[in-house]
Structure 1
Amino acid sequence: MKRPNILFIMADQMAAPLLPLHDSASPIKVPNLQRLAAEGVLFDSAYCNSPLCAPSRFTLVSGQLPSQIGAYDNAADFPADVPTYAHYLRRLGYRTALSGKMHFCGPDQLHGYEERLTSDIYPADYGWSVNWDEPEVRASWYHNMSSVLQAGPCVRTNQLDFDEEVVFKAQQYLFDHVRMTPDQPFCLTVSMTHPHDPYTIPEEYWNRYSDDDIPLPRQVIDQAEQDPHSQRLLKVIDLWDKPLPEQKILDARRAYFGACSYIDDNIGKLLKTLKDCKLADDTIIVFSGDHGDMLGERGLWYKMHWFEMAARVPLLVHAPARFAAHRVNQSVSTVDLLPTLVELAGGQVEPGLHLDGRSLLPHLQGTGGHDEVLGEYMAEGTTSPLMMIRRGEWKFVYSEEDPLLLFNVANDPQERENLAESPDHREQVAALLDEARSRWDMPAIHQATLASQRRRRLVAEALTQGTLKSWDHQPMVDASEQYMRNHIDLDDLERRARFPQA
Structure 2
Amino acid sequence: MKKNILYLHTHDSGRYLEPFGAAVKTPNLMKLAQEGTLFRQAYCAAPTCSPSRVGLLSGQSPHSTNMLGLAQRGFQMDCYDTHLSNFLRNQGYHTCLFGVQHEAPEPSMLGYDYWFDEDCHHSEFILRDTAASTHAADYLLNYQEDKPFFMSVGFINTHRRYPKAPDDFVNPDYVKPPMTIPDTKENRKDMADFMYSAKIADDSVGVVLDALKRSGREDNTIIIFTTDHGIAFPFMKCNCYDTGIGVTLIMKFTGNQAAGKVSDSLISQIDVYPTLCDMLEIRKPDYLQGRSFVGLFTDPEQEINSEVFAEVTYHAAYEPMRCIRTSRYKLIRYFDCHNGYVPANIDASPSKDDMIDAGLLRQTHEREMLFDLALDPLERKNLVNSNDCKDIYDDLRLRLENWMERTGDPLLRVGYRVPKPEGAWVNRLSDLDPGCTISE
CA contact (8 A) 1:100 1:163 kept: yes
The 1:22–1:349 alpha-carbon spacing in structure 2 relative to 1, beyond 3 Å, is same
Say yes or no: does 1:171 pair with 2:137.
yes
State the match for 1:391 in structure 2.
326
Match of residue 8 from structure 1: 7
Q: Give the deviation of 1:105 after TM superposition.
A: 3.2
Q: Which structure would you say has the larger Rg? A: 1
CA contact (8 A) 2:141 2:215 kept: yes
Give me the whole-angstrom Cα distance separating, in 2, the residues matched to 1:269 and 1:13.
20
2:134 touches 2:207 (CA, 8 Å); kept in 1? Answer: no
Equivalent pairs counted in the alignment come to 388
**For the residues of structure 1 that align with 2:19 and 2:168, how far apart are their CA atoms?**
22
Partner residue of 1:247 out of 185, 191, 197 = 185
The aligned runs of 1:220-369 (5 Å cut-off) are 220=181, 246-293=184-231, 295=233, 300=234, 303-325=237-259, 326-350=261-285, 353-366=286-299, 368-369=302-303
3-state DSSP of counterpart to 2:157 = strand
Query: For 2:162, which of 199, 202, 225 is the aligned residue?
Result: 199
Cα separation, 2, equivalents of 1:107 and 1:193:
16
Q: Which amino acid in 2 is paired with 1:210?
A: N
Offset from partner CA, 1:34-85 (integer Å, 9 cap, x none): 1111111110011111111111111111111111111111131123444122
| 2:390 corresponding residue in structure 1 | 426
Alignment of 1:425-444 (within 5 A): 425-441=389-405, 444=411
The counterpart of 1:20, out of the listed 18, 21, 24, is 18
Please state how far the C-alpha of 1:33 moved relative to its aligned partner.
0.9
Task: Name the CA shift for 1:450/1:408 in 2 (closer, same or farther; >3 Å).
Answer: closer
Q: Which has the higher contact order (CA 8 A, sep 6+)?
A: 1
Tell me: CA distance 1:456–1:446, structure 2 relative to 1, closer, same or farther (3 Å): farther
Q: Which residue of the other structure, out of 188, 198, 201, is the alignment partner of 2:151?
A: 188
Residues 99 and 369 of structure 1: is their aligned pair in 2 closer, same or farther, counting only changes over 3 Å?
farther
What is the Cα deviation at residue 342 of structure 1?
A: 2.3
Residues 102 and 195 (structure 1 numbering): CA distance in 2 closer, same or farther, change over 3 Å?
Answer: same
Change (3 A) 1:103 1:81: closer
**SS where residue 342 of structure 1 aligns?**
helix
The offset of 1:160, in angstroms, is 2.0
What is the rounded CA distance, in whole Å, between the counterparts of 2:413 and 2:238 in structure 1? 17
Match of 2:56 in 1: 60
Please say which of residues 54-63 and 209-218 is displaced more in the overlay.
209-218
**Contact 1:41–1:317 (CA<8 Å) still a contact in 2?**
yes
Q: Residue 286 of structure 1 contacts residue 316 of structure 1 at CA under 8 Å; is this kept in 2?
A: yes
Name the residue aligned to 2:423.
456
What's the % identity of the aligned pairs? Answer: 25
The residue number in structure 2 matching 1:137 is none
Alignment pair present for 1:47 and 2:47: no
Query: In 2, distance between residues paired with 1:161 and 1:430?
Result: 51
Distance in 2, Cα, partners of 1:340 & 1:381: 32
Partner AA of 2:249 in structure 1: L
User: 1:12/1:81 Cα in 2 relative to 1: closer, same or farther (>3 Å)?
Assistant: closer
Deviation at 1:411, TM superposition (A): 3.2
> Once the two structures are superposed, what CA deviation does each residue of 1:108-164 show, in whole Å capped at 9, x if it has no partner?
733122222226967xxxxxxxxxxxxxxxxxxxxxxxxxxxxxxxxx953222212
Structure 1 residues without counterparts, runs of 5 or longer: 123-155, 222-244, 459-502
Q: 1:447 aligns with which of 399, 414, 418?
A: 414
More moved, 36-45 vs 103-112: 103-112
Aligned-residue CA RMSD (Å): 2.7
Distance in structure 2 (CA, Å) of the matches to 1:435 and 1:305: 20
